[in-house]
Amino acid sequence: MANIALTLARPRDAQFIAQMSRDLVEAGLHWSWKPARVHTHIRSSESNVVIAKEHGHLAGFAIMQFYDEHAHLNLLAVDPVYRRAGLGRRLVEWQEDTARAGGIFCVNLEVRANNTGARAFYRSLGYREAHRIPGYYHGREDAIRMTHDLTRKKEGELHA
């Protein structure tokens, strides 16, 4: 983990991010985060695409989109080789810090309802399950909308 650098994505990273999304996030669904869509978010001033690389290998990424009152974590993926080492947490925290810096204190996301591991991961970061969205994933799978109030301190964190 010590050699993994987090940086903003560049247009040349779009293909690798899209492939990782297809294989790890969108597996079994219609592939919607193709390179052109990822590229659009990399170039947009209203999105932030952060990547994690180790020796040129894409270990993970996170895409967040910013609105007036909230941010939306569109995608998060970590290569299975790098899971359970805190990389997903680092990627999400980078995005949350960016939201706070922009004066945004609410983050929303959707996760597959049957992905209990991802739901537990987000809960550990302070997200709460808001509601179920039937057929969210192309009418095939339900999603759970999760939200995080960034003004609230995490459990065990001291107030300054």
Q: Active-site residue numbers?
A: 110, 122
In a domain, 107, yes or no: yes
Whether 95 is covered by a domain: the verdict is yes
Within a domain: residue 155?
no
Query: What is the 3-state secondary structure of 23-86?
Result: HHHCCCCCCCCCHHHHHHHHHCCCEEEEEEEECCEEEEEEEEEECCCCEEEEEEEECHHHCCCC
Q: Which of 51, 47, 49 is nearest to 6 (CA)?
A: 51
Q: Determine if the pTM surpasses 0.75.
A: yes
Inside any domain, residue 55: yes
Q: Which residues, given as ranges, of the chain have pLDDT below 70?
A: 1-2, 153-160
Question: Tell me, what CATH number does 141's domain have?
Answer: 3.40.630.30
Domain count, the chain: 1
Task: Convert the pLDDT of each residue in 70-92 to its tens digit.
Answer: 999 999 999 999 998 899 999 99
- Which range marks the domain in which residue 61 is found? 5-149
